[in-house]
Copies of this chain bind each other. A is one copy, B any other.
């Protein structure tokens, strides 16, 4: 795949903060960017050459986007397969590909795939009926976690099963949608790996981050995490297996559980730039956003070494009202997304605190 020359146009499905930071990285490399998002005046649209205001599955919009762009990528994984196909027919490079998106859209497909490529996960069973929910709870033990196979993020679309008898109720609580029951992971830490793969199959992996969640939402990432070499190596191997197994192009986020016995389990993968990779903006020469654009555009991947230890903290909802105090801290870099309304839990920005060099 020949690298796209500067002046080419890159399309991004999704106009939120990830699209915004991708667009800025693309512009730094001399690319023009066109956003597709149903919301007018989106955070990404406001820093891009153009925005098409339409639904993600609008065939005309996809045709226009694909024809206007030399490559198209996504800020989220819930892209309909038909949209990807439609884009590919316009002749634009589309990355990551349909396989990666389809795999990440379905928790059952995802975990099945992960185990197949040697990326260990918790034990899991498919659940399509209340009866199956009870059976699965019996086999995996309780507490266990019932999740819808599709959609759901930041802790939505999942419910704890605390007794075998309660499994059916949990299933109904999720709307009787196709689901997956996952054994509880007695993890001591949540880690994540941000990794990239180019069209040529080369990979690049950033140092591992350690994450803290609260209320199902990522609160902070500390990177490079304080982990031993063996674990770091293991995490990198897992990331590379996933990238290769999906014939992936772009940046991918891999969330991991570290168990007490030192084992690593993959919690989930995100076929896109990832909130736990925002620290790279101020900790690495080439951040995850530039890395993704490089991969999609067929450029050589950039360096991934950290030049600083960084603690990234999300600004959720009213957290952003602290901008004035944060702006005055010399060890803190402020990144705001240009979103209007600070609804509770909404990701309004993040800060990267430089801890050491």
Q: Which residues of A are interface residues toward B (Cβ below 8 A)?
A: 3, 5-7, 20, 23-24, 27-32, 41, 46-49, 282, 285-286, 294, 299-300, 302-303, 307-308, 320, 323-324, 327-328, 330-331, 333-338, 340, 349, 354, 357
Chain B residues contacting A7 (CB-CB under 8 Å) are 338, 340
Q: Is A324 in contact with B30, judged by CB distance below 8 angstroms?
A: no
Could you tell me the distance between the alpha carbons of A324 and B32 in the complex, rounded to whole angstroms?
17
Could you tell me the distance between the alpha carbons of A300 and B338 in the complex, rounded to whole angstroms?
20
Chain B residues contacting A29 (CB-CB under 8 Å) are 327, 334, 336
Could you tell me the distance between the alpha carbons of A282 and B354 in the complex, rounded to whole angstroms?
15
Could you tell me the distance between the alpha carbons of A46 and B303 in the complex, rounded to whole angstroms?
28
Q: Is A338 in contact with B302, judged by CB distance below 8 angstroms?
A: no
Chain B nearest CB from A335 CB (Å) reads 6
With A320-B6, A330-B302 already in contact, the answer to whether A336 and B46 are too (CB < 8 A) is no
Could you tell me the distance between the alpha carbons of A17 and B13 in the complex, rounded to whole angstroms?
27
Could you tell me the distance between the alpha carbons of A20 and B335 in the complex, rounded to whole angstroms?
18
Q: Is A338 in contact with B3, judged by CB distance below 8 angstroms?
A: no
Q: Is A20 in contact with B27, judged by CB distance below 8 angstroms?
A: yes
Could you tell me the distance between the alpha carbons of A266 and B201 in the complex, rounded to whole angstroms?
52
Q: Is B3 in contact with A336, judged by CB distance below 8 angstroms?
A: no
Chain B residues contacting A41 (CB-CB under 8 Å) are 49
Q: Which listed residue, B6, B328, B340, touches A300 by the CB 8 Å rule?
A: B328
Q: Is A336 in contact with B30, judged by CB distance below 8 angstroms?
A: yes
Please name the residue on chain B nearest to A47 by beta carbon: B27
Could you tell me the distance between the alpha carbons of A109 and B207 in the complex, rounded to whole angstroms?
54
Q: Is B32 in contact with A28, judged by CB distance below 8 angstroms?
A: no
Please name the residue on chain B nearest to A299 by beta carbon: B327
Q: Is A285 in contact with B354, judged by CB distance below 8 angstroms?
A: yes
Q: Is B323 in contact with A28, judged by CB distance below 8 angstroms?
A: no
Q: Is A32 in contact with B330, judged by CB distance below 8 angstroms?
A: no
The residue in A6, A7, A324, A349 that gathers the most chain B C-beta atoms within 10 A of its C-beta is A6
With A299-B327, A338-B7 already in contact, the answer to whether A47 and B24 are too (CB < 8 A) is yes
Could you tell me the distance between the alpha carbons of A337 and B6 in the complex, rounded to whole angstroms?
9
Chain B nearest CB from A306 CB (Å) reads 11
With A7-B338, A20-B27 already in contact, the answer to whether A303 and B330 are too (CB < 8 A) is yes
Could you tell me the distance between the alpha carbons of A46 and B31 in the complex, rounded to whole angstroms?
10
17 contacts between A and B (CB under 8 A): A3-B327, A6-B336, A7-B338, A20-B27, A24-B24, A24-B27, A24-B28, A27-B47, A30-B338, A30-B349, A32-B46, A32-B338, A46-B48, A46-B49, A47-B49, A282-B285, A299-B328
Chain B nearest CB from A297 CB (Å) reads 9
With A48-B47, A330-B302, A330-B303 already in contact, the answer to whether A30 and B323 are too (CB < 8 A) is yes
Could you tell me the distance between the alpha carbons of A307 and B323 in the complex, rounded to whole angstroms?
25
Chain B residues contacting A300 (CB-CB under 8 Å) are 327-328
With A282-B285, A294-B327 already in contact, the answer to whether A338 and B6 are too (CB < 8 A) is yes
Chain B residues contacting A48 (CB-CB under 8 Å) are 46-47
Chain B residues contacting A349 (CB-CB under 8 Å) are 6, 30
Chain B residues contacting A6 (CB-CB under 8 Å) are 320, 323, 336, 338, 349
Chain B nearest CB from A77 CB (Å) reads 25
